[in-house]
Structure 1
Amino acid sequence: MRGLWLVLALLPSVGAAQQVNDYPTLARADYIFGCMAVNGQGPDSMARCACSVDVIASILPYEDYVKAETVLSLRLAGGERGAMFRGMSVATADVAELRRAQAEAEITCF
């Protein structure tokens, strides 16, 4: 019986687990595939990329991640459309937070 209590004590709280796991599987897989395209296709790369998305998810709520990724992708558009998003100061905080989370993931996992 004491062993069961030890196991339960070591499990993360439901709130912490929910926070880390609020990224849909598809979003995590998309991140891992993109990361592996840049860092290599081997099992070591996959483990590091999975670690990376886990670190980002522990820092940045999924809703903020989506906002920042959307702004970054729209900034890549050419012409006036892209310029409009490159000049947006409103989304700068979201992008900065994503960059900070990515830097933390880089230090932790790579």
Structure 2
Amino acid sequence: MVTKTVSLEQEINPWEAQAARFDLAANKLNLDEGLWKVLRYPNREIILHIPVAMDNGSLEVFTGFRVQHSIARGPSKGGIRYAPDVTLDEIRALASWMTW
């Protein structure tokens, strides 16, 4: 099992912090390497760009993210946030936290 060493105190970004915690738990549980590979990464990531005609006549393009970490136990909510400053890594972490 290949793991990246990241201090749990060092919040590089939400996804890396979540991945470090998952790796720590997987090691303590002696999780099978194949299962580790399946569970560590999101099932599906959707990135979309939505053009919107603004009230002043200009055209703005907004980017959205939807991540489903795992559908192994049935339908998933995934990571969802509506904010101008959200990142894909934040949504990846939210989706993962919904799984666990």
Pick the structure with more helix per residue. Answer: 1
Give yes or no for TM over 0.5.
Answer: no
Normalized against structure 2, the TM-score is what?
0.27
Normalized against structure 1, the TM-score is what?
0.25
**RCO (CA 8 Å, sep 6+): is it higher in 1 or 2?**
1
Structure of larger gyration radius: 1
Pick the structure with more strand per residue. Answer: 2
